Structure 1
Amino acid sequence: MASGLSGKAAIAGVGYTEFSRNSGVSTLTLALRAIMAALDDAGLDPGKVDGIATHRVGDSIPAPMVAVSLGLTDPHYYVDHFGGGGSSHGLVGQAALAVAAGVADHVVCYRAINARSEFRMGGTGRPLVDHIETQYQAAYGYMAPPQYYAMMARAYMDAFGVDERHLGAVAISQRANAAHNPRAMMRDPISFDDYRASRMIAEPFRLLDCCLETDVGVALLVTTPERARDLRKPAVIVDAAAWGGGTTLQSAGAPDITTSYAARMAPRLFGLAGIGPADVDFANFYDCFTFSVLMQLEDYGFCGKGEAGGFVLDGQHRMDGRLPVNPHGGFLSEGYAHGMNHIAEAVQQLRGEAGGRQVRDARIGLSTGAPGYVGGVTSALLLRRDG
């Protein structure tokens, strides 16, 4: 049965800065540019904004500082959440709850990072992350996301017979999608030979298995459907939002690291919307690495456990397949905005604005955060076209 939130919140505007390797500006500037672009997309006066929210890991500008810079003198709602990509969709879900409850009228959610030119994930020269297990890992040089995910990927690949053909199929299809996306950082087609020739980063991950390090800002405007219908663009309805987890899967004793926290959360997410995986027209899976796409195909119920390899080799994840995955190219080819660009792309797909990468007759889209590794939390949204 659908939840009380279903149909009571909407996304009414999306805004981007350029996806680049060197923005040349501060994260405050990126945030403000993305927010103003989202407000312009919606046709909303900035003075109407009364809520602001972000997630970050010590790499961006706090939400209260952005509120001041926007001239908000009495914000009714703000969230400054310390957390990575697993928190991204929960941030928007919480904003949806706020507008549905009448706490705020118009909430802007943003992510702004100089993740290539300034604060590189897993880079040196900064304090270690504050997980308990870090003290046992850092001494062995086990500190960067590709290393963390490589361990999980190898366990998964050994369990289910997945190999470089399956990982490569994800990278190749998403690059093909990005060719139709004018925002994408990487648009040139790649072959399997190109994939295999890319250098090894952390076995089994090659360079083309890894998301892009990106300087970018992305913002979304969350409001009620009634208010959204008075704005410039068609409303995209929040059908369900869910988040979960609570421990990391690196060393917290998870019984099966070939299954992510998303598998526990997915039934709850679909139950809140009153639909199932078969009703979804496209999926924007959190693709920090190619492996995470395979795992989420299974854990969100689009195929059985151990069947994702065959799913992608058969091309069922391509634009002409059963479930188009990451039509914008995802983090692997568009750029890495730590989750927010997946939601923004879902909105554009459901508004029919995606041009050459448009999914035909898209009515319901799934967008996901990181599946629970490293940070230990995950989140996702089910969105649908209004009307």
Structure 2
Amino acid sequence: MTTRDRAFRGSTAVVGIANTPFHKRGSATQSSAQLTLEAILAAAADAGIDAHDIDGFSSYANDDNEGLAIGAALGVHEIRWSSMVWGGGGGGVAAAVNAASAAVATGQADMVCVYRGISEADAGRQSYSKGHMGPLLAGHGMFAPAQVCAMRTQRLIEVDGVPASALEALVAAAYHHAQNNPDAVAYGKPLDPEVYADSRMISEPLRLYDCSRENDAAGAVIVTTAERARELRQKPAYVLSAVQGGGPEWTESVENETAYTSAGFHPAMVRRLWEGAGVKPGEVDVVQVYENFSGPAVASLIDLGLVPPGPDAARVMRFENLIAPSGSLPLNTAGGNIAEGFVHGFGLIVEAVRQIRGSSPNQVPDAALSLLLGGPMAPLVSATLFGADSVL
């Protein structure tokens, strides 16, 4: 690696985090803009900063609320940065953090807020996926993300030999973690294996509990320079490495990819992530993986080298191995999209940072490397690796 390749490492940090309560889809009385502003004010208070000092905004998944409008509503002193990550759904969840970090690292802004808000009352359903179901899919009656991800998951099981038990283990870990998180929608609602197995099929092989929730809510995190972060209220979660994009075949998927069962994290992207941080996959302490559906999340873990491919995936994808504090690959430790709540994965950012702070409802002891994965099996995927002071 050259000096330039490592210039990004540790130059920025997340200093403020917040989620609003997760409302049942369509039940929120606030607009998505109101929920977003509530989350931003809470994140600013968490960081111990004046919200008027925020000078940049970054979002993803076709958020209805432009950064300029949000900045005006907050009454900030100046807007120096406003960006939207292209690509439908949760593929941009880490990429939005990466864009904010790039803006801060290059001096384009000093304090950038990453946000995402959804309220069905004004945003409707699936506003993020409009234009992302091409003619090949729509012409055959495929309009739902579950259908596309189900085909790839079925191939993952049938051709690659990844056992279906890997999907179930991921879901079981999410529900287990949610029982210790009072803010999770599934709090107080443990999932029995028999209930999982008997749940209705949504799109084979994905059952009801393999699918993420849909909620009205918002989240916000604040990114600033490493120097400023050390002066603020909270323990910084430094951005060590960040990647986003896709391989040459992915773009708007037409089901002809050679790596059909990949989540979209192609080898060059994965190599950049680990080399940029100067760590290896086995050194990661905890993972927050975007699980619109369980199968694509397992594919992400395989792409990143965290889980072996094929039948050997079962060696790692076991319930007891995926839970905090004792598992070797604890993941989605607040419950994730499946059991905590769904705002296109924004809660995964918040939980990734909480693990570095030591404030997770399911804390991994001495967590110093916390990985966030956005996607997967989407036209765009992204990843951010957060680190504590001890790894700088």
- TM-score for the superposition, normalised by structure 1: 0.92
Equivalent pair of 2:84/2:96 in contact (CA under 8 Å): no
Say yes or no: does 1:227 pair with 2:228. yes
Q: 35, 60, 63: which is aligned to 2:64?
A: 60
- Offset of residue 315 of structure 1: 3.1
Equivalent pair of 2:59/2:115 in contact (CA under 8 Å): yes
Q: 276, 284, 294: which is aligned to 1:280?
A: 284
- Offset of residue 127 of structure 1: 11
Equivalent pair of 1:120/1:213 in contact (CA under 8 Å): no
**Which residue matches 1:322?**
328
SS at structure 2 position matched to 1:25? coil
Deviates more, 1:259-268 or 1:144-153: 259-268
Q: Aligned in 2, Cα 1:314/1:56: closer, same or farther, shift over 3 Å?
A: closer
Could you tell me which runs of 5 or more consecutive residues in structure 2 were left unpaired when the two chains were aligned.
Answer: none
**Which residue matches 1:140?**
140
Which 4+ residue blocks in structure 1 deviate beyond 4 angstroms?
115-118
Q: How many residues align?
A: 378
- Which amino acid is 1:287 matched to? E
Q: Aligned in 2, Cα 1:323/1:253: closer, same or farther, shift over 3 Å?
A: same
Identical pairs, percent: 34
Distance in structure 2 (CA, Å) of the matches to 1:209 and 1:116: 26
Say yes or no: does 1:383 pair with 2:386. yes
Distance in structure 2 (CA, Å) of the matches to 1:312 and 1:269: 22
- Offset of residue 184 of structure 1: 0.5
Distance in structure 1 (CA, Å) of the matches to 2:84 and 2:123: 20
Distance in structure 2 (CA, Å) of the matches to 1:256 and 1:98: 33
Equivalent pair of 1:52/1:77 in contact (CA under 8 Å): yes
- Offset of residue 294 of structure 1: 1.6
- Offset of residue 164 of structure 1: 4.0
- Offset of residue 199 of structure 1: 1.3
Say yes or no: does 1:206 pair with 2:207. yes
Distance in structure 2 (CA, Å) of the matches to 1:127 and 1:353: 31
Q: Aligned in 2, Cα 1:190/1:128: closer, same or farther, shift over 3 Å?
A: closer
1:86-139 Cα deviation digits (max 9, x unpaired): 112111111111111111110001010125995323xxxx898324x6223223
Q: Aligned in 2, Cα 1:157/1:115: closer, same or farther, shift over 3 Å?
A: farther
Deviates more, 1:260-269 or 1:329-338: 260-269
- Which amino acid is 1:142 matched to? M
Distance in structure 1 (CA, Å) of the matches to 2:303 and 2:165: 20
Say yes or no: does 1:260 pair with 2:258. no
- Offset of residue 198 of structure 1: 1.4
- Which amino acid is 2:209 matched to? L
**Which residue matches 2:159?**
159
**Which residue matches 2:90?**
85
- Which amino acid is 2:227 matched to? E
Say yes or no: does 1:120 pair with 2:121. no
Q: Aligned in 2, Cα 1:117/1:181: closer, same or farther, shift over 3 Å?
A: farther
- TM-score for the superposition, normalised by structure 2: 0.91
RMSD, aligned α-carbons = 2.0
SS at structure 1 position matched to 2:168? helix
Deviates more, 1:10-19 or 1:304-313: 304-313
Equivalent pair of 2:263/2:303 in contact (CA under 8 Å): yes
- Which amino acid is 2:119 matched to? N
